[in-house]
Amino acid sequence: MKAASDVLRRIFTKHLQGFVILFCCFLFNAQAESWPTKPLKLVIPFPPGGGSDVVGRIIANQLSTILGQQIVVDNRGGAGGSIGTEFAVRANPDGYTLLLASTSEIAVNPALYPLNYSTVNDLIAVGAVATTPMMIISASAFPAKTIRELIDLARRRPTDINVASAGSGTISHLSAELFKSMNNLKWTHVPYKGTGPALADLMGDQVQLMFAPPPPVLGLIKSGKVNLIAVSGKSRMAAFPDTPTVLESSETNYIVDNWYGIFVPAKTPREIVQKLSEAIDKALKTPEVITSLTAQGAAPGEMGMNQFPDYVKAEVDKWSAVIKAADVKKD
């Protein structure tokens, strides 16, 4: 009797486990199909007011309308964006915590910080939402007005060129290092604690050159306080159609895009990722988003869940190589 009882118990236990698994799968699919049923959180790993915050709020407003649920922005700055990024990595992968992250915290930080997570393996790259070129700007008295003139001057008089950045390891620093390396140049890097102080000294002719993102410099260029030499993207900027790209001005294949994208924790259900990717694509095609991003010198992203992950991996490899070659250390 005992043997028969044990057999029945094992059979019952096996069937019960199977039922639990089936029930969980049913519940899982039902939740994914009905998502979202409550407000979402968009983590922005920088304080309010910066480029990430501006882009994040533009896309959050439109996604709220499309998804039918409010998206609450949660600014969590610190450690170059690593604190907010790790918070998103550790969040429940239920589709209700999103991360707005950029080149710096996803592709640059892994080579600069001892991270407790992988930006490639612990996050799903859902879609790019915006890209901006770096703008190569100079002090008004700087004699080089074109990329060719800049390269020639740097080769003839490298000690005359001081290049400002927002800090060691920032995208403004690394984009300049990549340009210098690809063109076999020499100059002096002058790191500042932020874009503002660097621009102040550039306008005061204390430094001669800077690679900067569009938002803080658009007004300075238009008012003639700094000169715009070239832009680093694949194509010219709509706001400055007469300014060439580096790509069309030199013999090197120099392209730098400072991008922003939406990410979710790695175990987020694929059905939810698909819905979110479709919502992002729809948002980026609305006139409101296009107009708002253009005003910031940005272009809507063009990569969804099928293209963006591979691009992110390539960017991690690209910037890790630049950091290693230039022996960059975080301040």
Residue 187 in tokens: 């100059």
Q: What is the pLDDT of residue 24?
A: 44
Q: What is the pLDDT of residue 20?
A: 47
**Closest to 72 (Cα-Cα) out of 87, 85, 57:** 57
50-73 pLDDT, tens digit each: 889 999 999 999 999 999 999 999
Q: What is the pLDDT of residue 23?
A: 47
Q: Which CATH class is domain 35-132+258-326?
A: alpha beta
Q: What is the pLDDT of residue 25?
A: 44
CATH 3.40.190.150 domain locations along the chain: 35-132+258-326
**Closest to 246 (Cα-Cα) out of 330, 161, 182:** 182
Length reported for the chain: 331
CB atoms within 10 A of CB 144: 18
CATH 3.40.190.10 domain locations along the chain: 135-231
How far from the centroid of its chain's Cα atoms is residue 323's Cα? 17
| DSSP letter assigned to residue 244 | P
Q: What is the pLDDT of residue 35?
A: 98
Q: Which CATH class is domain 135-231?
A: alpha beta
Query: Rounded CA gap, 123 and 246, in Å?
Result: 32
228-260 pLDDT, tens digit each: 999 999 999 988 999 999 999 888 999 999 999
**Closest to 147 (Cα-Cα) out of 171, 182, 173:** 182
Spans in the chain with pLDDT lower than 50 = 20-28
Q: What is the pLDDT of residue 26?
A: 46
Q: What is the pLDDT of residue 3?
A: 60
Query: Rounded CA gap, 36 and 195, in Å?
Result: 38
Q: Residue 252 contacts by C-beta under 8 Å, 6 or more apart in sequence?
A: 182, 183, 246
pTM: 0.84
